[in-house]
Structure 1
Amino acid sequence: MNLVVPLLHYATQQPDKVALSDGHESRTYSALVQRMKQIAQGLQLSGLNQEKVAIISTNRIEFVEVFLGAIYAGCVPIPIDPKWSSKEVNVILEQCQPKMIFTENAFAKNLVLQDREIQLLTFSAEEAGSYDNWSDTLNSEAEMNDTNELLFIGFTSGTTGTPKGYMRTHLSWMNSFKATSEAFQLNNMEHMLAPGPFVHSLSLFAIMQSLYSGATFHIVKDFNTRKVLKLCKQIPDMILFVVPTMIESMMQEEIPYQTQIQAVISSGGKWTEASKNKCKEVFGGVKLYEFYGSSEASYISYLDIHAENKPNSVGRPFHGVEISIRDEHFQEVPTGSIGQLYIRSDMMFKGYYQLAEETTAVFRDGWLIIGDLMYKDQDGYLYMAGRSKNMMVTGGLNVFPEEVESVLQQIPEIEEVMVLGVPDTYWGEQVTALVKWNGQQRLSTEEIKNYCRQHLASYKAPKQIISVDQFIYTSSGKMARQAMKDYTKRVMI
C-alpha cells in the first residue's frame, strides 16, 4: 500500500479541510492532492521512474508538495539539510545521484552538479521561482506508481559522526502511525505542530502522521518559542512533537498557562526528571509523553509522564516491539543487568543506503542492534545506561557519560552538562564534565565530586570541570557531542 492513498480519500471526503497551513498560505486536502499529482506528472514526463529526487529546503509548503509528489510518482525523495556545509551537501548528492533537485534560490548557488542532466528547480518567497513556472504548466492527471516499496532516504543528524542515509519503507511508517494511535491517549488528531526542521525524522514523521490521519499540520519556518505558543493559544487541541530543548524554551515563557495544547510528545534527546516535573506544573493538565526511538528503529518505548512514576526510565515498549537485552556473546542478560539493546518490529528501517557493511553490522538474525546499553526492571520498563559509542575507559573501568550526566543534572547550580573522556597518560581517559552554569554561583570540582560520590562509584565522578557559555546543537536540537569534543580539545591545547 502506498502511504499517500489516505490523502486521495480525504481529498474526496473532506476536500475543503486545510491540510497544511503556514499562517500565510494554506492547502486544502483537494488542493494538496492536485499539487501532488501535478508534481508527479512532471517527474514522470521527465522520465523519472523509481529515481531519486533531492529536496534541499527549509520548512515550507513546497517541501511537502514535492515530497508527496515524488512518492506518488514512484520516485524516492531525499531530504537534505540546508544547514549543512556545501561540501557535505555535495558529498551526499554525489553519493545519491538524484535526477532532479528541488531547492531554494539561496542554496542553489552552493551546489556542484557533476551531471549536467540533473534538473534544478528553485523555490522563492520573493518571486516565482523555476519550481512555480514548471509546476504551473502541468495538470493533475498523473497515475500513481505504487511499485516502489522504498518511501524515502533520510540522513541521520550526525551527533557523533558522518551522517548515514537510512532507507524507510511505506509499510514501516504506516505501522508506526498505527502505533501512535495505540500508545498516546489522544482525544483527536485535528491539529499538529512539529517546529523542528522537516529534514529530520521527528518533524517529517509528524507531518506524514498528520496527513495520514486527515489532520491539519501547522508549519513554522523555524522554532520560535513565542510563535509556537501563540499558535497553541489560537488553535485548540494542538498536538506538539518536540525535542526537550524546545520544551525548556517554552517553559521560560508565561504564555503556556493560556494555551490550548492537547499533548506534548517529546523525543530526540533525554528529557530530564527536573524538566518533566516542571512541565507538569507549567502545562497543568496537558498530556505529556516521552518516547524513545531512532530514525532506523522508529518507535521503541514510551512513557506517560503523568500516569507512570518511573524516574529516568525511557518507558515500556510500544505494542509490537520485541525487546532483548544481551551480553557480548549474544546471550540474554538477567532483569536489572546492563546489556546491549536489540529490538525487532515491523517499524524498522530497511538498511543504510549504499553501506552494506554498516547495514550488516546493525542486524543480527532479524534483530536490530540499537547501539544503546540498557537494563529493564521487573515491570518491563527500560533504562538507558549509555551509548556504547560514547563509553569511556578510565583506569581500566567502563564509564558511560549518560549515567554521570543524569546525576549532574540534579545539581541546581548546573543548567546543562555533557560528560566526555579526555585522553590522559595515567587514567587512559579522564572523566571530564562540560558545564553551563545556572546563574553566577559555581561549584568547585571537589564539591561536584562529593555530590557524585553519593550516587555513583568514585571512579565515575568527574576529575575536572570545564565551564562553557553554551553548547553546540545539531539542527534537530540534539547536543552535538562530536563538535563539543572538538571544542574541548582546542580549549585544552
Structure 2
Amino acid sequence: MLAIYLGKKFYLIDNIHQLNSLSGDACLFSVPTFLLQSSNNHNIPPNNLRTIFLGGGTLTSQGIKKIKQQFSQAKLFEFYGSSETSFISWQDITNGKFQFSAGQLFPNTQVSIGLQQEIIVTSPYLFSGYLAQTPPKNWVTDDLGFLKKNHLFLLGRKADLIDHGGNKVAPLEIETAASDLCQKCVAFGVEDQVYGQKIALLMIKPITKKQLQKKLAQRLEKFKCPNIYLVTNEIPLTSNLKISRSQLAQAYRNGEYDEI
C-alpha cells in the first residue's frame, strides 16, 4: 500500500538475489528471519538496497550485526504492530538498539500496560473489528511489555511465558542473556509434574555446559536459569519463517534434541 501511495513499483520476492535484478534504488520490507537466513549465504552479490524495514519478529544485537555485514549500505528500521493494531512503534536500528526495545510510538498511538503487563493499544490505526461486531476502541495484544518515556519495550508473548514454579518467565530475557554464548538460541517451557514447566534452552554451537551455567547464573535470577540445555544444528521455523515454541517443546518430547 505504501508503494502504491508513493507511486512506486512493488515486487514480491522469495529470494534475496532477486533484488539485484531491480533497476534503481530499492527498499525492502521483510521479517528478520528471511534476511538472517539469506545472510548465511556468503555469496550474496552487491545490491541496491538503501533501506530495510523489518517487522514480525524482534532482532537481537547479534542479528543486527549479521544483517549489517551483508547489507552495509542499507539503513535498518524495525517496526512493531499486529494485524488488529497495524503499526504501534518503530525505531532506527542501523547502529543497534536498547535491550528489549520496540522503539517510539507512532503519532496518535497510545499504549497502556495491563495488570499482567499486557500491551493495550488505542490508536486511529486499529482495525474496524470483526464481522457483525462493534469496532473496538482499544485492543489488548498477546504481547507483554512496559513503557519508558514514550518508548515501548517488549518482554515476549503471553502465550510463550514459561510457568516455572509459579514464576512467569519471559523466554526473550533468557535468550538475550545467552545470545553471546552460542551462535543462536531459543528458550521454551516443557511440561514438568513438580514445577509446572521446566526451562529448556536450545542452542547452536554453544560454549560448554559448565561455562553456560556459570555465565547465566551471573546474568539471571536463579529461577530464570535454564534447567535443560539442548544442542542442535538448526532451529526449525514455521512456514512463515517464525519460531514456534510449542512445536519445539513437542520436538523435545519426541527426543529430537540432544542434551548437553
Tell me if structure 2 keeps the 8 A contact 1:431–1:464: yes
1:356-375 to structure 2, matched below 5 A, reads 366-375=137-146
Q: How far does residue 352 in structure 1 lie from its aligned partner after superposition?
A: 4.2
* Residue in structure 2 matched with residue 480 of structure 1 by the alignment: 244
Q: Deviations over 1:292-351 (max 9, x none)?
A: 1111211111111136753431101111211111325xxxxxxxxxx2211111111233
Structure 2 counterpart of 1:227, from 10, 15, 18? 18
Change (3 A) 1:341 1:262: same
Distance 2:42 2:200 in 1: 36
Distance 1:453 1:265 in 2: 36
* Residue in structure 2 matched with residue 216 of structure 1 by the alignment: 9
Equivalent residue of 1:216, what SS?
coil
TM superposition score normalised by structure 1: 0.48
Tell me if structure 2 keeps the 8 A contact 1:268–1:477: no
1:2-41 to structure 2, matched below 5 A, reads none
**Does the alignment pair 1:394 with 2:164?**
yes
Structure 1 counterpart of 2:24, from 232, 236, 243? 236
Distance 2:38 2:235 in 1: 18
- Answer 1 or 2: which has greater helix percent: 1
Equivalent residue of 1:296, what SS?
coil
Q: How far does residue 243 in structure 1 lie from its aligned partner after superposition?
A: 1.0
Which AA in structure 1 matches 2:246?
Answer: Q
CA RMSD of aligned residues (A): 2.6
Which AA in structure 1 matches 2:16?
Answer: T
Equivalent residue of 2:53, what SS?
strand
Tell me if structure 2 keeps the 8 A contact 1:416–1:436: yes
Tell me if structure 1 keeps the 8 A contact 2:100–2:155: no
1:12-411 to structure 2, matched below 5 A, reads 208-220=1-13, 223-228=14-19, 230-231=20-21, 234-253=22-41, 258-306=46-94, 309-328=97-116, 339-352=117-130, 366-377=137-148, 379-411=149-181
Change (3 A) 1:317 1:453: same
Q: Deviations over 1:448-482 (max 9, x none)?
A: 22221222111111111122333332232211233
Change (3 A) 1:254 1:432: closer
Distance 2:236 2:67 in 1: 24
Tell me if structure 1 keeps the 8 A contact 2:50–2:75: yes
- Answer 1 or 2: which has greater strand percent: 2
Q: Which runs of 5+ in 1 are unaligned?
A: 1-207, 329-338
Q: Deviations over 1:191-232 (max 9, x none)?
A: xxxxxxxxxxxxxxxxx3222322111233xx223334x23x
Distance 1:392 1:421 in 2: 5
**Does the alignment pair 1:458 with 2:222?**
yes
Tell me if structure 1 keeps the 8 A contact 2:17–2:44: no
Q: Deviations over 1:375-395 (max 9, x none)?
A: 122x32211112111112212
Distance 1:252 1:422 in 2: 30
Distance 1:256 1:320 in 2: 40
Distance 1:466 1:309 in 2: 28
Structure 1 counterpart of 2:210, from 446, 469, 492? 446
Structure 2 counterpart of 1:417, from 164, 179, 185? 185
Q: Which runs of 5+ in 2 are unaligned?
A: none
* Residue in structure 2 matched with residue 435 of structure 1 by the alignment: 203
Distance 2:208 2:91 in 1: 35
Q: Which moved more, 1:457-466 or 1:468-477?
A: 468-477
Which AA in structure 1 matches 2:142?
Answer: G
Change (3 A) 1:481 1:320: same
Distance 2:25 2:138 in 1: 38
Change (3 A) 1:225 1:285: closer
Distance 2:57 2:145 in 1: 16
TM superposition score normalised by structure 2: 0.87
Which AA in structure 1 matches 2:147?
Answer: K
Larger radius of gyration: 1
Tell me if structure 2 keeps the 8 A contact 1:445–1:465: yes
Tell me if structure 1 keeps the 8 A contact 2:109–2:123: yes
